[in-house]
Structure 1
Amino acid sequence: MKLKIVNLIFCLLTFTVVIGQSNDADKMLNKAIYQEVVNGELQKAIEMYEMIVKDFPNERMVVAKALYRNAFANEKLGLKTASSLYQKIISNYADQTEMVNLSKKRLKSLTGALANHAKKGLSVEKIFSFEDGLYGMMSNNGKYLTHTDWGDANLYYIDIATKERFPVTTNGAWKKPMKYADFAIWSPKDDKIAYAFYDGTSGYSLNIWDKATKTTSAVLKVESAAEFVWPMDWSKDGRYIVTISGNRKSLKFGLLDLSTQKHKTFNEFNRETHRLLDNSPSISPDGKYILYSTLGSNGSQDIFAISTESGIVKTILYHVANEGGQIWKKDGKSFLFVSDRSGAPALYKHKFEKGNIIGEPELIYQGVTKSFSAHVSNSSGLIFSNSSNYADIYTADVNLENGTTSNISEFQQQAKGLYHPVWSNTGNYISYTSRKANAPREEDQLTIRELATGTNKIIDLGTGIEFHGMNSLWSPDDKKIALESQKQNIIVVDIEKETVDVFKNIGATVTFGPDNSIISSKRREPNLIKVNLETKKQTTLFEGEAGWDYSGLKTSPDNKNICFFELDVTTPKRLSKFDLTTGKYELLLEPGKDQAFARMELISLPNDNDHIIFGLVQLDKDGNPLKAELYKINIHTKEKEKFGVVNENFKDPREYDFSRKLDKIVFKKAKNIDTIWLLK
């Protein structure tokens, strides 16, 4: 922006006010979305959206987003005002292309949805909000929840009305041999709970707890300690429990006959090629069919049926959209499911007879999410839950000598699906990846925060990239960011040009190298591969020892050395380096029996180019972690010395990152909130 000298002071002041207004509008929008999606306070969110439109009329992008979210909240409530709000965006905000396109899609699918809501007199009522993330199921009468508390490894049931919780197990423990309760379901009469339990000595078992007598009986044990078994559904007559069992490589459905305790298993599925994206199989009231959803041959999530008599699997719903969350109606003549075929997840009903669907699905309710589980209540209606994952980001000064933090400040609230925040090499920026709040499908975006001005640059990463941000990092000049992908694709983002390049099948971990390059390593292929970012030419720099994986690649500031962990299966076992000048590999450190590398990858390669800062965990005699400490090792002499300690709140590398000077930290606090609704 060019400014005339005579107006410099005035324009700078005006610009500061505009930036302040923009930040205020963004913050208020995030808070409103949080009220809508996480807390389930739809009316409160609507009021906040209306306030944004009124108070920030010049912030057209934010106002358009607020109008869209307002319309969507009205849509959830089945209110006709949703249509007029979508139309307002289309008519008055033509410059906001994304919101206009989304509004047109919603308006097109909304006509039938709202008419359906009005005809059936449908409404939703918030029942319960679980702020620590729910790992369990609702009871059939809608009064209770099962929940595994990962803090003490025990199973509880919760009274929704009083929020009081009652223990089902009391012997959970994280110290070896570990014991913990796993997934749990309710019996048809809500008088029993079936749950999986893991014992470090004997493996998994399936147990039934009687609510009246407070007694537990084991009904199924796995044959191998490497296998597991989970209860997933209980037949209407109380005789059968649908199970999922298997190991790291395969899964299979089963049917446990409680009268005979015989366990019949069905077709085995390879976990790599046939992932069960929706672990909620539902058995028909007559016990003849089990519905489940997983990836179909078209790459989308489809719904399948297993005959409990023959074990034959049949595709029930095959669609380019994603389908899941299947649940039988109590009469067994139809089932409910969630589909995004209309552009956003919605609840549908499909008739079913003699192993086949009949006709076309009927739209029931527009306003669910993809994270959906439900029960058809015995009396009131459909009880369903939606999950929301959000995070707040903070920065702080850190003293690594004693592990303390000070001057903590929050700069981002309620970022959806947020991944690893990362500090730039100069310390001027922080980046993080997150889900787009207004996207109909799961789309990702990269946010670059300039700390001096407090402004954000947002770059759309598009769909289908499937990064996980575990080791995203900045280039030495702070002009590019590299992200890892779940499918061994590396994503390189040019911040100035706002371009996104995908390098397919070149590695699972990455760092920037010299001469405009990245250096990566594939999973289960311990090689270092150099890729020129301009020509895309690949060069193998080093072929390592078979049987190892490389993790946490980091390049020294002078571009002469790459340091990395070598992993045997999943646990970091040794610390190594590769000299880019001489082509020489060297093992730096292999921890002793009472030590293990902390889950923090390589903390930092300081500007002196001679050292690595990393974490070691002290273990007790049973292999349980006691405390994490920071160490410094000279990459030339291999001399190791204690450097500092890590605050107990910062043990997971996905949660935080240090500045290059090791005097500041950026970290996130994640929130996994489940809200339970009654559709009546």
Structure 2
Amino acid sequence: MNKKLLATVFSALVLATAVSAAGAAAQAEDPGVMLRAAIEKEEVEGDLQKAIELYRAIVLRHGGRTSVAAKAPLRIGECYEKLGNTEAVKAYEAVLSKFPGEAEAVAEARGRLAELRKEAPAALTMTRLIPPEARELEGPALSPDGTKVAGVEISTGQNLAVYDLASGKLEYLTHYGWKMDDHAVWVPIWSPTGREIVHQDNPFSYDGQELRITDLAGKSRVLMTNPEGGLAPCDWLADGGAILAVRGNKEKTASLGLISVKDGTFRELISLERPYENRGGDMPSYWMSGSADASPDGRFIAFADGPADGGRNIHILSMDGRSKTTLVDNPADDMQPRWSPDGRHIVFLSDRSGSRGLWGVAVREGKPEGVPFQIQEGLLNTDLGSWTRTGLQTWSHVIMSEICVVDIDPRSHAVLGKPRVMEFPRSSWNLAPRWSPDGRFLSAMAYRAPSSGGRSESPTLMIMPSEGGAARAYKIEYPYARMGGTGHWLPDGSQSYVVYDKEKRLHFGRLDLDTGVWQHRQIPAAEGLERFMGLAWSADGKGFYYIPVTEEGAAPELVLHDMESGQRRTIFRGQPGESYNWNIKASRDYKRLAMSCAEFIVIVDVDTGKAERLANEAKKQFAAPAWAPDGKFVVAKGQPENEGDPAELYIISLADGALKSLDIGRHLPRRARIMTAADWSPDGRHIAFDSRFWNAETNLVKNVIPEKN
């Protein structure tokens, strides 16, 4: 063989060897190959430490190839579990933070974390504060000395009340009803002395919100008003001089700041990332109020914040607003921070283990000291109240809202059986049932409450065939700021709504049931229509009746608005100081309108404007009358006279005012209420109504922080 041939053969061998070596090296760097080698090291050879090193190398070199790399920290966690090392928790949390898009790996990591943290400390105890036989309060707050609970009681109005834990006595500090000139109380926060309570106190007819300070004798004063929308108190500083609050701004942003107790001025500390949005320009006030808490020494503020469509983190802000530190940074949703009375820990709610639980973290000088630890699991539908020396107060609540139908004899009006629940999709609020003009359909409005601190969803119109069948849902995406007259049937059998925006422009929407498409258009508006109550359509569908919201003490009016010209015509004028319920109902022939005013049912002839007030001998308070098909009777809900009275519907004769109770309250759950209105079917055989059932527990958690922390 000549030299030239030998050189060629030798070069080929060298090249082949190099290619083979490169291929082997590439294969060795393949993440799948590396993963199999690490698993072999773990499971075959039993060298857990070496396996951990190999798994870490996968994450380091191939973190971008998530489908394989996400498995590596899972295996690291399993190795540490075998070694009995607490580093397993960090490994599983790395899966959640670095590979949030890998659903299978994330689910497995959450499952392992739940197993590792599922046992609560034995020393922790939970005790119910308000017994089940007592009237439970919404949005409760425990007094600083742990002897009283302030909250909202809603049997006869949305009122501020205080429950004495020793005597079991409930004292009302406000005495509002459900009329449009009444107020609604929400979000009570105790003063450091326990002698006063700051709370929302908003007129039903007012678009903004106001805060009041009320003492235990019921004496009240306005602290601050926000015409732009939301205003939610969060905490009362220990020195008593200021109240920590979240304020909604004109641009639908929100700010955290301090309100001076002396003069009501607001000092902004920080602009929040999470916006506010809710019906009427309001923010989800209860959850916003729970988003911040001041430290006992008055130096720091713990608050939860994050994007509207994502999870929140816990931050600490200096009281002057100049320094912000992230206390808890996690892909989970962390919310409702609360300082311990000694200022050494912050607890918060989090879903990082797969479901909502109570977590804690040690703090020193406004910074975290160590990693978060789990305190208690299984806190779905639970919110945190105040944390006093006696313990951490919590509030667990379940709300169910149903559309029900009761069958009656159209002649005798005898009830034929128990009310039955209609199979509408579940939501936070199923309200305002209405029969179509031909009786073929039953509609209702569904409102879904926001998750803690999130945005409330747009309402949904639900329509169900009256003879049975699945309900269809029609989403209503309002492009406008204010809402009114929603979910009403037009005389031609189509659905409609009327809304107005902040520029006082009026908009009309009509739903085609066949196509499911909403048609929107702007219509002329008359002066004063930017705020109105109720809505009922005229016989030709070209106009609607409404009651303008007027100043307190003024005479209410019933007005017809022409949608083509924008002109308004007063049909009826009430007496000064009278207050009418928000519901207006047209008779089936569209010749008369029914309204309620205290113990009166008011019937108005739309052609002549002549009104007839029907009193009842029992002097019962009625609301939301609806017509019988023959126009000789109405059905109305009777307002409960006393705490604990059941919800009830009454049929009222227009001839003599005689009352007939349908006695449906005995079939409804305890504490159930008829929320908005009833409606009588065109064939006279069915009455539909909405029912809200609410159950809650106010609890006290003691020994919150385990001794080792």
Q: Structure 2 vs 1, CA of residues 553 and 334 (structure 1 numbering), >3 Å: closer, same or farther?
A: same
Q: Retained in 2: the 8 A contact 1:184–1:195?
A: yes
Quote the residue 1:528 is aligned against: 508
Structure 1 residue 314, shift from structure 2 partner: 6.7
Q: Distance in 1 between matches of 2:361 and 2:381?
A: 18
1:265 alignment partner, one of 244, 264, 267 = 267
Q: Retained in 2: the 8 A contact 1:206–1:230?
A: no
Quote the residue 1:446 is aligned against: none
Quote the residue 2:575 is aligned against: 594
Structure 1 residue 428, shift from structure 2 partner: 6.7
Q: Please state whether the residue corresponding to 1:266 is helix, strand or coil.
A: strand
- What one-letter code is carried by the residue in structure 1 that aligns with 2:486? T
Computing the radius of gyration from Cα coordinates, the structure with the larger value is 2
Structure 1 residue 395, shift from structure 2 partner: 3.5
Quote the residue 1:603 is aligned against: 585
Larger mean Cα displacement after TM superposition, 658-667 or 175-184:
175-184
Q: Retained in 2: the 8 A contact 1:385–1:675?
A: yes
Quote the residue 1:157 is aligned against: 162
Q: Distance in 2 between matches of 1:383 and 1:118?
A: 21
Q: Structure 2 vs 1, CA of residues 182 and 428 (structure 1 numbering), >3 Å: closer, same or farther?
A: closer
Residues 291-314 of structure 1: CA deviation (Å, up to 9, x unaligned)? 334663656555554432246667
Q: Retained in 2: the 8 A contact 1:131–1:672?
A: no
Q: Distance in 2 between matches of 1:239 and 1:333?
A: 21
Quote the residue 1:309 is aligned against: 320
- What one-letter code is carried by the residue in structure 2 that aligns with 1:603? K
Residues 256-281 of structure 1: CA deviation (Å, up to 9, x unaligned)? 788x9997733487865994542133
Q: Structure 2 vs 1, CA of residues 252 and 577 (structure 1 numbering), >3 Å: closer, same or farther?
A: closer
Quote the residue 1:136 is aligned against: 140
Q: Distance in 1 between matches of 2:373 and 2:152?
A: 35
Q: Distance in 2 between matches of 1:341 and 1:477?
A: 46
Q: Please state whether the residue corresponding to 1:109 is helix, strand or coil.
A: helix
Q: Please state whether the residue corresponding to 2:110 is helix, strand or coil.
A: helix
2:299 alignment partner, one of 266, 270, 288 = 288
Q: Distance in 2 between matches of 1:393 and 1:518?
A: 18
Q: Structure 2 vs 1, CA of residues 105 and 486 (structure 1 numbering), >3 Å: closer, same or farther?
A: farther
* Residue 627, structure 1, aligned to residue 596, structure 2: no
**Structure 2 regions of 5+ residues with no counterpart?**
1-102, 204-209, 614-630, 640-648, 651-673, 703-709
- What one-letter code is carried by the residue in structure 1 that aligns with 2:506? P
More strand by share: 1
Residues 495-534 of structure 1: CA deviation (Å, up to 9, x unaligned)? xxxxxxxxx9999835567999765544323233556664
- What one-letter code is carried by the residue in structure 1 that aligns with 2:688? V
Quote the residue 1:409 is aligned against: 418
Q: Retained in 1: the 8 A contact 2:442–2:465?
A: no
Q: Retained in 2: the 8 A contact 1:394–1:409?
A: no
Q: Retained in 2: the 8 A contact 1:293–1:324?
A: yes
Q: Distance in 2 between matches of 1:131 and 1:538?
A: 46
Q: Distance in 1 between matches of 2:579 and 2:161?
A: 34
1:278 alignment partner, one of 288, 294, 302 = 288
Quote the residue 1:671 is aligned against: 693
Q: Please state whether the residue corresponding to 2:431 is helix, strand or coil.
A: coil
Q: Distance in 2 between matches of 1:225 and 1:521?
A: 26
Quote the residue 1:383 is aligned against: 393
**Structure 1 regions of 5+ residues with no counterpart?**
1-101, 210-214, 444-462, 491-503, 619-624
Q: Structure 2 vs 1, CA of residues 268 and 613 (structure 1 numbering), >3 Å: closer, same or farther?
A: farther
Q: Retained in 2: the 8 A contact 1:240–1:255?
A: no
Q: Retained in 2: the 8 A contact 1:605–1:611?
A: yes
Structure 1 residue 158, shift from structure 2 partner: 2.3
Structure 1 residue 488, shift from structure 2 partner: 1.0
Quote the residue 1:616 is aligned against: 595
Structure 1 residue 372, shift from structure 2 partner: 0.3
Structure 1 residue 115, shift from structure 2 partner: 3.7
Q: Retained in 1: the 8 A contact 2:382–2:397?
A: yes
Quote the residue 2:113 is aligned against: 112
Q: Distance in 2 between matches of 1:105 and 1:140?
A: 41
Q: Retained in 2: the 8 A contact 1:278–1:294?
A: no
* Residue 659, structure 1, aligned to residue 670, structure 2: no
Larger mean Cα displacement after TM superposition, 565-574 or 665-674:
565-574
1:346 alignment partner, one of 343, 348, 357 = 357
Q: Distance in 2 between matches of 1:485 and 1:535?
A: 9
Q: Retained in 2: the 8 A contact 1:113–1:365?
A: no
Q: Structure 2 vs 1, CA of residues 511 and 239 (structure 1 numbering), >3 Å: closer, same or farther?
A: closer
Structure 1 residue 467, shift from structure 2 partner: 4.0
Structure 1 residue 666, shift from structure 2 partner: 1.9
Structure 1 residue 327, shift from structure 2 partner: 0.7
- What one-letter code is carried by the residue in structure 2 that aligns with 1:116? R
Q: Please state whether the residue corresponding to 2:142 is helix, strand or coil.
A: coil
Structure 1 residue 283, shift from structure 2 partner: 0.7
Q: Please state whether the residue corresponding to 2:418 is helix, strand or coil.
A: strand
TM-score (ref. length: structure 1) = 0.57
1:145 alignment partner, one of 142, 149, 154 = 149
Q: Please state whether the residue corresponding to 2:341 is helix, strand or coil.
A: coil
TM-score (ref. length: structure 2) = 0.55
Q: Please state whether the residue corresponding to 2:349 is helix, strand or coil.
A: strand
Quote the residue 1:564 is aligned against: 544
Q: Please state whether the residue corresponding to 1:561 is helix, strand or coil.
A: coil
Q: Retained in 2: the 8 A contact 1:131–1:671?
A: no
Q: Please state whether the residue corresponding to 2:360 is helix, strand or coil.
A: strand
Q: Distance in 2 between matches of 1:408 and 1:597?
A: 36
Seq. identity, %: 15
Q: Distance in 2 between matches of 1:144 and 1:337?
A: 23
- What one-letter code is carried by the residue in structure 2 that aligns with 1:327? R
Q: What are the residue-to-residue correspondences of 1:542-553 with 2, within 5 Å?
A: 542-545=523-526, 548-549=529-530
Q: Retained in 1: the 8 A contact 2:506–2:522?
A: no
Aligned residues: 513
Q: Structure 2 vs 1, CA of residues 178 and 266 (structure 1 numbering), >3 Å: closer, same or farther?
A: same
Q: Distance in 1 between matches of 2:565 and 2:468?
A: 28
Q: Retained in 1: the 8 A contact 2:572–2:610?
A: no
Q: Distance in 1 between matches of 2:161 and 2:494?
A: 52
Q: Distance in 2 between matches of 1:528 and 1:541?
A: 6
Residues 387-418 of structure 1: CA deviation (Å, up to 9, x unaligned)? 2212465434679999x985572323997734
Q: Distance in 1 between matches of 2:240 and 2:472?
A: 53
Structure 1 residue 616, shift from structure 2 partner: 2.7
1:648 alignment partner, one of 638, 641, 648 = 638
* Residue 363, structure 1, aligned to residue 371, structure 2: no
Q: Retained in 2: the 8 A contact 1:338–1:346?
A: yes
Q: Retained in 2: the 8 A contact 1:422–1:666?
A: yes
Q: Give the superposed CA RMSD.
A: 5.8
Q: What are the residue-to-residue correspondences of 1:74-93 with 2, within 5 Å?
A: none
